[in-house]
């Protein structure tokens, strides 16, 4: 039982980290790319931080709330017929 809980928590942490890395790469591409055509670094960094907070924070809150809901309601259990 304890091993299963740690396994599930470890999987959740890896999914969160993987998604946050992908969100960071996407945000960096779209926020720092315009620096090549003259947007200041200050504006690019400010936009990057706001994007990280909105998209990264939103993903973590919504995804973990969904996982918690599925765990509490028992909808992620496998049905044995």
Each residue's pLDDT tens digit, 22-41: 999 999 999 888 888 888 88
**Residue 51: what pLDDT?**
92
**Residue 53: what pLDDT?**
94
Q: Is the pTM of this model over 0.75?
A: yes
Domain segments of the chain: what residues?
2-73
CA angle 36, 21, 6 (to 5 degrees): 175
Low-confidence ranges of the chain (pLDDT < 50): 81
**Residue 40: what pLDDT?**
87
**Residue 50: what pLDDT?**
94
CA distances from 60 to 21, 51, 56, 77, 80 (A): 12, 14, 6, 22, 31
**Residue 76: what pLDDT?**
66
**Residue 39: what pLDDT?**
80
């Amino acid at each position: 039982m304890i091993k299963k809980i740690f396994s599930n928590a470890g999987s959740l942490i890896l999914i969160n980290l993987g998604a946050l890395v992908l969100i960071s790469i996407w945000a960096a591409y779209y926020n720092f790319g315009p620096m090549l055509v003259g947007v200041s670094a200050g504006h690019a960094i400010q936009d990057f931080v706001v994007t990280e907070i909105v998209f990264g924070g939103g993903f973590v809150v919504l995804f973990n709330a969904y996982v918690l809901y599925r765990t509490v309601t028992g909808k992620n259990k496998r049905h044995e017929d």
